[in-house]
Amino acid sequence: MPYVNVTTIRGLLSPGQKQILINKLSDVLVEVEGAGNPDFRKMVWISIEERAPESFGLGELRPSSASIAQFVAVRDAAVNTR
């Protein structure tokens, strides 16, 4: 029984995006570990854990709730113009 834990920044993913991520990760595990058997999906656990933006850092980059909100707004605006 596979268990996958995804850690992400709070506010980055919408509920719909989380569901898509869960579905796609499950598809991969069914294909790889379950040898394509669709019944294997019943044993796949996916957990999405969200943490405060301030808990992350990459070099000098320190995201904040405000910077994540701004990023999401720009990203969503770009998606809506496609």
Answer CATH for 3-80 from 3.30.429.10, 3.40.50.2300, 3.40.50.300, 3.20.20.210? 3.30.429.10
What pLDDT score does 79 carry? 84
What pLDDT score does 81 carry?
A: 83
For residue 25, the model assigns a pLDDT of 98
* pLDDT for position 51: 97
pLDDT in tens, the chain (82 residues): 899 999 999 999 999 999 999 999 999 999 999 999 999 999 999 999 999 999 999 999 999 999 999 999 999 999 888 7
Domain ranges of the chain: 3-80
C-alpha 31/C-alpha 23 separation (Å) is 12
CB atoms closer than 10 angstroms to residue 29: 20
Q: State the residue for tokens 């999405």.
A: 48
